[in-house]
Amino acid sequence: MSDTALREILDSHGSESGSLVPVLQEIQGKYGYLPAEAMIEVAKRLRVDEATVYSVATFYAQFKLVPTGKHQVKVCCGTACHVRGGSKILDAAERELGIGAGATTEDREYSLDRVACFGSCALAPVVVVDKDVYGRMTPSRVKSVLDDSVRGGQQE
């Protein structure tokens, strides 16, 4: 973790407590997770307790306290996806990656998460890999979608 990058993020925000969430979001955007040292630094700069930073970091699902994989695989488990077989897509992704939801592969290539809803319900079930949204998924399409991400994004 480079101190300058962290300092730049902290400098670009004011020191009011309302900045806490956006600051943490930016740190996570930069590092992929919230390193403990960074959270301590944030507490100092925004003049709040370390416990406050930690409580915010653990309250919101977006924040990760451990490093995540290079590619973020998110399987939508919203209602529309659920009634159209989203759990089977999740099963297939778990099988394909060999990890459960919420985990990261050993080679740090993929993190797998279940997400409540992407709002692409009309195309349920949906999988999102990094920034690409894949609709009308089937369990057998999961592998090709994962391969896609290695090739650098949505090809179809």
Applying CB under 8 A, which residues contact other proteins? 16-22, 24-25, 46, 52, 55-56, 59-63, 77-84, 88, 91-92, 95, 115-124, 126, 131, 133-136, 138-140, 154-156
d(CA 52, CA 72): 27
Rounded to 5 degrees, φ, ψ at 75 are: -100, 125
The distance of Cα 87 from the centroid of its chain, to the nearest Å, equals: 19
Q: Are 125 and 76 in contact (CB under 8 A)?
A: yes
Closer residue to other proteins, CB minimum distance, 111 or 120: 120
Q: Closest separation between CB of residue 106 and other proteins, Å?
A: 20
Site of tokens 């590092």: 31
The backbone torsions φ and ψ at residue 71, rounded to the nearest 5 degrees and listed phi first, read: -115, 135
Closest to other proteins by CB, 9 or 124:
124
Q: Whole-number minimum distance, CB 138 to other proteins, in Å?
A: 7
- Which tokens belong to 86? 């989203």
CB of 64 to other proteins, least distance (A): 11
Q: Which amino acid belongs to residue 73?
A: V
Q: How far is the CB of 123 from other proteins (least distance, A)?
A: 5
What does the angle CA 149 – CA 152 – CA 29 come to, to the nearest 5 degrees?
80
Q: How far is the CB of 135 from other proteins (least distance, A)?
A: 4
Of residues 5 and 48, the one with the C-beta less far from other proteins: 48
Task: Choose between 19 and 105: whose C-beta lies nearer to other proteins.
Answer: 19
